[in-house]
Copies of this chain bind each other. A is one copy, B any other.
Amino acid sequence: MRILILGGDGYLGWPTALRLSASGHEIAVVDNFSRRRWHHENSTDSLTPIALLGDRIDVWEGLSGKRIESFIGDIEDGEFLDRIVRTTLPEAIVHYGEQPSAPFSMVSRQHAVLTQQTNVIGTLNLLFSIRDHVPNCHLVKLGTMGEYGTPNIDIEEGFLEIEHKGRRDLLPFPKLPGSLYHLSKVHDSHNIHFACRTWGLRATDLNQGVVYGIETEETAADERLVTRFDYDEYFGTALNRFCVQAVIGHPLTVYGRGGQTRGLLNIRDTLQCVELAVAHPAKLSEFRVFNQFTQQFTIAEVAELVQRAGTELGYDVRVQSFPNPRVEAEEHYYNAVNTKLHDLGLQPHLLDEQLVQSMLETISRHRDRVIARAIVPRTRWRPGELPGGGHPAATPETLSDESSAAR
């Protein structure tokens, strides 16, 4: 199958390109290196030293005999994207090409506008390119479980059967996203759904949980194929960040009481889910939503697991409650359905101490690359407000407490 991967240089995009190439598909990747650029702007970096895209592609070709095509540019530039779609005529498009960080979107007006513009306009351009050039193409779009927020009812997969005043309808699940980034994904979902019901496009929206892990089958084959591993406040995800903190002896940065529940999954399962979605496309006019995670944990549980696994390896792992920079409930009901990907055959890699220990070992090989400034969160959902003030679940620490903890 001809597959185009937007954001194909990223944490998930690059391993996905390798996996789908290994499976025999014809792969082209698009990227504008925004992640590499944003790291430069913040003087942070991937823990793993990542090769240039051109070198990665050459190494993979040397190993596999398969060539991955690449296009460099912004999908917010509709003419650029249109040209690629017209040229490559993909049968499936895997869309990772977005600004993926909640804290980044909350830094300032400029960051918020950049996030919603990149994500919403980029995806809107994509929908037009598909409509005009490859209307049968299957769009596999990465969404996020964060689109739902934490409602007091079970979270279904995209839609909800609602009974109201004696009448019934199947309607989009109501969304309560927790950041301007998460909102951009909600906007995307609405736009894509519209394109499916109005233009007859086909799409799968993968509402992904928090991804953890470093290696996939293909990236492990040669160190020059390694994917990026972020642990900074913007682009690092919870478990990945905790593992780096454990290795360098920084207290694990649990926000508030750590009662926030999230769906998590292994990076290997991300690839498996995307491959399953591609292999079982949505029907024309269908907008399909899969909740893509394998297990639910509270953040405190994740921290405890890292502490247990690290202690066994001889690390001194402390867990510390940090003032929550976000505006969110720290204790809440959470029960999300995730049966559709299992029905397609997903075989999850479950989280255990052994997996965490293998992450800790990989991280310790790169520990001299850890940049300390990346560890402690500085972006506040309510800037100007001391963390700890203003919402009920906050802890008594002050900003200066936290700043000193950062050093």
Binding site for B on A (CB under 8 A): 78, 109-110, 112-113, 116-117, 120-121, 124-125, 128, 151-154, 156, 160, 162-165, 167-169, 171-177, 180, 183, 186-187, 190-191, 194, 197-200, 327, 333, 381-382, 390
Contact = CB atoms under 8 A, between A and B. Distances in A.
A190 B198 CA distance: 22
Nearest to A159: B174
Q: Specify which of A154, A164, A177 lies most central, judged by the most chain B CB atoms within 10 Å of its CB.
A: A164
Contacts of A162: 153, 160, 162, 174
B172 A174 contact: yes
Contacts of A151: 169, 171
A267 B199 CA distance: 34
A194 B198 contact: no
A113 B186 CA distance: 17
A152 B174 CA distance: 16
A200 B180 CA distance: 15
A109 B174 contact: no
Nearest to A382: B199
Nearest to A78: B109
A113 B117 CA distance: 10
A183 B151 CA distance: 23
The 7 closest A-B pairs by CB, nearest first: A171-B174, A152-B169, A109-B128, A153-B164, A187-B187, A153-B167, A198-B327
Given A113-B124, A174-B174, 8 more contacts: A78-B109, A109-B125, A112-B124, A120-B187, A151-B171, A153-B165, A175-B190, A198-B381
Contacts of A190: 175, 177, 183, 186-187
Contacts of A116: 120-121, 124, 191
28 contacts: A78-B109, A78-B110, A78-B113, A112-B124, A112-B128, A113-B121, A120-B120, A124-B180, A151-B169, A153-B163, A153-B168, A153-B169, A154-B164, A154-B167, A160-B164, A160-B174, A167-B333, A171-B174, A171-B176, A175-B190, A177-B190, A180-B194, A183-B190, A183-B194, A186-B187, A186-B190, A187-B190, A197-B327
A50 to B, nearest CB: 32
Contacts of A160: 162, 164, 174
A382 B198 contact: yes
A156 B197 CA distance: 23
Contacts of A183: 187, 190-191, 194
Contacts of A78: 109-110, 113
Nearest to A194: B183
Contacts of A382: 198-200
B169 A172 contact: no
A339 to B, nearest CB: 14
A111 to B, nearest CB: 10
**Could you say which of A110, A117, A174 has the most chain B C-beta atoms within 10 Å of its C-beta?**
A174
